[in-house]
Amino acid sequence: MSLDLTALVQLAQDFLAVSGLVFLRVGAMMALLPVFGEQLIPARLRLGIALAFTLVVAPAVAAGLPPLAGLAAWAGAGGAEIRAGLFFGVLLRILVLGLQTAGTIAAQSASLSQIFGGAPGMEPSPAMSNLMLFAGLSLAAISGLHVRLAMMVVESYDLIPAGTLIGPSLVADLGLAGVSRSFALAFQLAAPFVLASLLYNVTLGVINRAMPQLMVAFVGAPAITAGGLILLMLALPLMLRLWMGEFSQALIDPFGWMS
């Protein structure tokens, strides 16, 4: 009986050690992940989601985790896991910021940047940006995000093995590439609004030169606002489709989507 209890205790200790190490990476990612890591979600709920992801991921990666002898080795590996989790979380968060940036550019181009609304984060942002952000996050959530995130966490151990400390050069290179790709995507998504704003301002300038006595600003402001809303209605499905394509690629290949 004592031998059985000893074996059971040893099994429980091994499971807790593995699960604790996985939880550090998952928990760090959960602080920044889209949908699950939004600041609107209570901290207790995010903790519960992190534990649920840990229970899913731990059995799949337990065989590949390095043996940890002693508290010092476990603490060193835990620090590396937290850094890896934050790194992968930032890579996905950059894409969300790209969508939010595209909405801000579109709102500025359509003269709607003064209309603010509630945002998932702490800082207020234009209502058009919030609409695009909530639409993108909702589309990601209903597309099986929880399953794809679990698969990404499992595959992340192939990219950065457990206990491996990410080099500063790798963080700098991939971070720069991710930010550049995110801004390029933001300008690509907001391109119709920028072009419409350019056409509007050129037309307004021509009319102002032809009829200086006409208050063209009072005539053109309703036109650009209505045109921006109509353009948003027509272009938003395509914009979300393009963004979801990039987001899906980032989930499948976190390092490759930036190249």
Structure confidence at residue 124 (pLDDT): 67
Cα distances (Å, whole numbers) of residue 43 to 31, 39, 57, 95, 104: 9, 8, 21, 23, 28
DSSP state of 65: S
The residues spanned by each domain of the chain are 2-258
Nearest-angstrom CA–CA distance, 193 and 203: 15
Nearest to 156 by CA among 65, 37, 234, 238: 65
pLDDT along the chain (259 residues), means of 10: 52 68 88 85 87 88 74 77 89 90 87 62 72 90 89 88 82 86 91 88 77 70 82 91 91 78
Q: Which residues does residue 126 pair with via DSSP β-bridges, in sequence order?
A: 116
3-state secondary structure of 69: coil
CB atoms within 10 A of CB 67: 7
Rounded to whole angstroms, how far apart are CA atoms 108 and 97?
16
Dihedral class, residue 136 (left if φ above 0, else alpha if ψ from -120 to 50, else beta): alpha
User: Which H helix or E strand runs over 116?
Assistant: strand 116-117
What's the rounded Cα separation, in Å, for the pair 167 and 101?
A: 29
Q: Check residue 238 and give its pLDDT.
A: 92
Q: Half-sphere exposure of residue 198, counting CA atoms within 13 Å on the CB side?
A: 7
User: For the stretch 23-57, what's the b/e string if a residue is b when 16 or more beta carbons lie within 10 angstroms of its beta carbon?
Assistant: bbbbbbbbbbbbbbbbeeeeeeebeebbeebbebb
CB 160 within 8 A of CB 84: yes
pTM confidence score: 0.83
User: From CA 189, how far away is CA 183, in angstroms rounded?
Assistant: 10
What pLDDT, on the 0 to 100 scale, is given for residue 4?
55
pLDDT at 175: 84
- State the first-to-last Cα distance of the chain, in angstroms, to the nearest integer: 58
Q: Which of 14, 28, 13, 10 is nearest to 62 (CA)?
A: 14
Helix H or strand E encompassing 117: strand 116-117
Helix H or strand E encompassing 126? strand 125-126
Question: What is the model's pLDDT at position 12?
Answer: 55
